[in-house]
Structure 1
Amino acid sequence: MIKTIGVLGAGTMGHGIALSFALHGHDVTLYDTEPGALAHAREQIAEELALLAEEDFIAPADVPATLARIVPRTDLGAAVRDRDYVIEAAPEKLELKQRLLGQLDALCPAHTILASNTSSLPLAAMMTLLDDSRKQRTIVNHWYNPGHLMPIVELSFFGNMPAQIYKEVEDLYASIGKQTVKVLKDVPGLVANRIQQGVAREVFSLIENGVAEPADIDKALKFGPAFRYATTGQLEVADFGGLDIWCVVGDNLLKDMDNSPRANALLRRKVQEGRLGVKSGAGFYDYSGKDLGEIRRTFMRKLIHQLKASEYYA
Structure 2
Amino acid sequence: MTVVGVVGLGTMGRALAELFASRGCEVRGFDVRQYEVSYEEHTEVGREGVAITSSIAECVAEVDFAIEAVAEDIDVKRAVLAEISAHTAGVVASNTSTFVPSVLADAVSTPERFLVAHFFNPPHVVPLVEIVPGPRTAPTATAGIVDLLNRMGRHPVLLASECPGFVANRLQAAILREALALIEAGIASPSTVDQIVVNGLAPRWAAAGPIGIADLGGLDIWERVSVELFPLLSAASQPSPLLTALVETGHLGAKSGRGFYEHVAEIDARTFDTMKRHFELGAPRSGEALNATQ
Report if TM-score (shorter chain) is over 0.5. Answer: yes
Match of 1:102 among 77, 82, 87: 82
- 1:79 corresponds to which of 54, 59, 73: 59
Question: Does the Cα contact within 8 Å between 2:130 and 2:158 map onto a contact in 1?
Answer: yes
Residue 262 of structure 1 corresponds to 238
What secondary structure is seen at the aligned counterpart in 2 of 1:278? coil
Higher relative contact order (CA 8 A, sep 6+): 1
Residues of 2 paired with 1:74 and 1:252: CA distance?
59
Tell me which residue corresponds to 1:122.
100
Paired position in structure 1 for 2:146: 170
Write the distance in 2 (CA, Å) between the matches of 1:77 and 1:310: 39
Q: Tell me, yes or no, if the aligned pair for 2:12 and 2:122 is still in contact at 8 Å.
A: yes
Partner of 2:126: 150
| Counterparts in 2 of 1:312 and 1:188: CA distance versus 1, 3 Å | closer
Q: Is the 8 A contact 1:35 1:74 kept in 2?
A: yes
Give 5+ residue unaligned stretches, structure 1: 50-62
Residues 5 and 84, structure 1, Cα contact 8 Å, conserved in 2: yes
Partner of 1:20: 19
Please list the CA deviations of residues 90-147 of structure 1 after superposition, one character each: whole Å capped at 9, or x if unmatched.
1122221211111112211x2x11000112213122122334xx21111111111111
Structure 2 residue ranges without an equivalent (≥5):
287-294
Q: Give the Cα separation in 2 of the matches to 1:86 and 1:158.
A: 16
- Say which structure is richer in helix: 1
**Other-structure match for 2:282:** 310
- 1:303 partner letter: M
Amino acid paired to 1:88: E
Deviations 1:278-304 (A, max 9, x none): 2222211123xxxx3312321221122
Please say if residues 118 and 129 of structure 2, whose CA atoms lie closer than 8 Å, have aligned partners that are also in contact.
yes
Q: Does residue 40 of structure 2 align to residue 43 of structure 1? A: yes
Q: Partners in 2 of 1:34 and 1:206 — Cα distance?
A: 43
Query: CA shift at 1:312, angstroms?
Result: 6.2
Instruction: Indicate conservation of the 8 Å contact 2:57/2:83, yes or no.
Output: no
Q: Distance in 2 between matches of 1:166 and 1:35?
A: 31
User: Could you say which residue in structure 2 is the equivalent of 1:56?
Assistant: none
Give the counterpart letter for 2:33 in structure 1.
E
Give 1:1-314 correspondences, 5 Å limit.
3-36=2-35, 38-40=36-38, 42-44=39-41, 46-47=42-43, 49=44, 63-64=45-46, 67-108=47-88, 110=89, 112-131=90-109, 134-287=110-263, 292-310=264-282
> Which secondary structure does the structure 2 equivalent of 1:294 belong to?
helix
Give the deviation of 1:24 after TM superposition: 0.9
Report the AA paired with residue 302 of structure 1: T
Amino acid in structure 2 at the alignment position of 1:183? L
Q: CA deviation at 1:27?
A: 0.7
Mapped partners of 2:85, 2:246: distance in 1 = 42
Query: Residues 311, 207 of structure 1: CA spacing in aligned structure 2 closer, same or farther, 3 A cutoff?
Result: closer
Asked if the contact 2:114/2:133 (under 8 Å) is kept, the reply is no
Percent of aligned pairs with the same amino acid: 31
The answer to whether the Cα contact below 8 Å between 2:108 and 2:114 also exists between their aligned partners in 1 is no
Asked whether the equivalents of residues 101 and 129 of structure 1 are also in contact (C-alpha less than 8 Å), the reply is: yes
Query: Which stretch of structure 1 is more off in the superposition, 67-76 or 134-143?
Result: 67-76
Instruction: Name segments (4+ residues, structure 1) moved above 4 Å.
Output: 311-314
Residue range with higher mean Cα deviation, 82-91 or 269-278: 269-278
What TM-score results when the alignment is normalised by the length of structure 2? Answer: 0.92
